Structure 1
């Protein structure tokens, strides 16, 4: 069996194939959310995961999920609703995000989060700062504040509800009949053996294409030289299957970059240090953009600097916002976070002229407005902290075109009979450019998309779940 994802037409799964009502490719946040909802309703569901333990892009993320109108928010007195959330998404994407998905996801995410809460996932809301573009405190996190903890909790909930989890199984082929109805997924095991899983509905919750260099060069030329900080499983399988099926693709120019990838350590430095008053300074001792616009487009800005690097510079007030985050603790323990008593020490760490750096620091103060449009609320206070960073590609935000029910659409805009997609496999809500990514859009699409896809899958096999918008 070749390594390239394949669609085979007119091949029956055979009498010995395992059969389930719903098969889900990928056990990240999207697949696990869908599996939990389906299994809870008594629908036989199997998650097919290529890794030995579920991880994917979700495990590499911060694990922060944006949601508006949740029970957790209401308990904290946070005034928020899907309409405000949708407006924030479109404002960040300059009105180019797929409106049908923006509406569907912002309405579904609160019921999805409340449902996860019933299954033992105890969420908190980050309220120490606002992420760029969000008008309310709506970033939900587990107490561990990590994507790995989120995947572990979702895996436990889904399997306890009755979902089957098949690990170390890479879906290499999809079998379809003459009417473009999916009949089975063919899985390849590490020892080269194969298993055929027949299904009534197939949900692609597998991946984007950030780990496929050829696709990155073709669709995201600005990131062709960027560090890839995502999961190796993002190999573009969903896009490749879509091309072979004649599916429509959308928003392939959208992606989540990050301008704060510690180098050479290779760990994320939370953008909270920027929102808490920090700045990015290049090797010449200068700032070069408005850091509050967003961490995704900052990747492009950082890569354009000398040596494709910059330094995150912040103080104790900003550091206190992230000191409990696992990634930041890892950076500190590996000495990636440098402590500088004053401008001279900071200039020595950066390797820049101390006078140039001094002029940069002097421009940061209460009410100051820089040439990039950033308005500062306060000055940075010594001692300073500095982390050397570069721009990275995390995950893609384009893929298979889907409708509001997460049904994959063909080139004519019509849905395939029983093929669904969400999360990294499908188009997201970030428009078609890096600047359209609103913090948390990836996990929004994954969790809300998985929740909606479950309802659609259930309906296609004659079962009704509580509508996602309720």
Structure 2
């Protein structure tokens, strides 16, 4: 549970640094690398035993427009088109200046991480993500968020940027709208105080705080929590206690393609490449092209709160570039059948209904649910595959309002704090007011761009 514990600063601190960063996920570590490069004295603190966060649970893909990787792939893209895609998905509910800032910063950050820090990014070129008008997803070889976290941590350690784990921030020290430091709790429940010239909150959102989830997004309250349990909402609670402005607290990223009961993310490429979702009656129930965030509510509304994603061996070959999918296969989550009847038997689905559902997919045009089929995607052919899935909450997208250029936290009464920043899930993102505004990669987009801007501010 988040505790908005704010107090006046003590007479002295156990340690004082220039820039204190709370949270060592992708946002915090990118901020630390940028601040270190700018010549600042940095201390990065993490509540867990090792850096992890929501990033480690993701596919680790970061969208960016106009990168060298796109150019090498023959893809013409720019920040303006990227910003338009973000706003279109979010129904123009975002702060346009924040969208423009993230869209224009993403490519420089990707290239900086690749060039200066050796992260081996490459572009996903074999399938499209819903809402993106260009292929702009960049990831590391295994397409794993854990690989991204490990690579960032390796750079932190190589550059001797101070990182201390097993330290949870439990109190902020503030006076006259200025932050003076934080109190940290150690594993033995003892505490220490760290003074700072400025503070960067990189402690993510509040998806692990069920009370806050119920308050702000009750429609997803029964979803599997697929994020990091450390996302307790401290940043929002501290901000509100300090008089900070918040925005879009009902926004979140859901996902309706999590293997059940295995708890493994099944890539949405299983859908975009021509697959579909069916319920326990073997029938489709919605337009899957809307996106995987909206899929969480759609799947949870089905009997038992589950569904089946159905695809074929061609699509499975595309999905295997993701480590999660290979793990799902190893654990037996991916069923197979040489015929529709054989697959239906393995999944416990009505064979005739499943055959009719697959047969009703048009070669080209719009189906009964409004999904457009381009005519370029081959129909499903043996071997057929299916995975039982459920809906999940991945992470919240609302948070503290920040200045788009500096990431300084805005006050509810106007203006901004002089030395308080929020990045990643601690800040309001660019996913609109609910779940349908989430564009693939928005979470890590906010993490790396805001982290970079905060570090260099």
- Range class of TM-score, shorter chain: over 0.9
Distance (whole Å) between structure 1 residues aligned to residue 11 and residue 331 of structure 2: 51
What are the equivalent positions in structure 2 for 1:312-351 lying under 5 Å apart? 312-351=309-348
Aligned to 2:420: 419
Match of 1:163 among 147, 161, 164: 161
RMSD of aligned residue pairs (Cα, Å): 1.3
Structure 1 residue aligned with 2:360: 363
Find the partner of 2:304 among 302, 307, 317: 307
86, 94, 97: which one pairs with 1:97? 94
Aligned to 1:462: none
2:74 to 72, 77, 82: 77
The Cα of 1:11 is off from its aligned counterpart by 2.5
Moved more, 359-368 or 130-139: 359-368
**Do 1:364 and 1:380's aligned partners in 2 also have CA atoms closer than 8 Å?**
no
Structure 2 residues not aligned, in runs of 5+: none
Matching residue of 2:434: 433
Find the counterpart in structure 1 of residue 448 from structure 2: 447
Once the two structures are superposed, what CA deviation does each residue of 1:55-102 show, in whole Å capped at 9, x if it has no partner?
000011100000011122223322111001001101111111221110
Q: Structure 2-normalised TM-score? A: 0.97
Residue 255 of structure 1: CA displacement?
0.4
The whole-number CA distance in structure 1 between the counterparts of 2:4 and 2:184 is: 11
Give the deviation of 1:365 after TM superposition: 3.7
Give the whole-Å Cα distance in 2 for the aligned partners of 1:449 and 1:41. 15
Matched, 1:174 2:172: yes
1:317 Cα offset (Å): 1.3
What pairs with 1:90-239 in structure 2 (closer than 5 Å)? 90-117=87-114, 118-177=116-175, 179-239=176-236
Deviations 1:307-363 (A, max 9, x none): 110001000111111113111111000100000121212222343322222221111
Q: Residue 69 of structure 1 contacts residue 81 of structure 1 at CA under 8 Å; is this kept in 2? A: yes
Q: Which stretch of the first structure deviates more once superposed, 349-358 or 215-224?
A: 349-358
Question: In 1, Cα distance between the equivalents of 2:8 and 2:296?
Answer: 45
Moved over 6 A (4+): none
State how far apart, in whole Å, the 2-side matches of 1:13 and 1:227 are. Answer: 45
Alignment match of 1:24 (pick from 14, 21, 25): 21
Q: Is the 8 A contact 1:13 1:197 kept in 2?
A: no
Note the C-alpha offset of 1:368.
4.5
Aligned residue for 1:202, secondary structure, equals strand
CA distance in structure 2 between the aligned counterparts of 1:80 and 1:36, rounded to whole angstroms: 27
Q: Is the 8 A contact 2:310 2:387 kept in 1?
A: yes
1:164 deviation in Å? 0.8
Q: TM-score, normalised by structure 1?
A: 0.94
Given that 1:283 and 1:350 are in contact with CA atoms closer than 8 Å, whether structure 2 keeps it comes out as no
Name the count of aligned residue pairs.
Answer: 452
Instruction: Kindly provide the CA deviation profile for residues 408-451 of structure 1, in whole angstroms up to 9, marking residues without a partner as x.
Output: 11112320121000101010000101000000000000000101
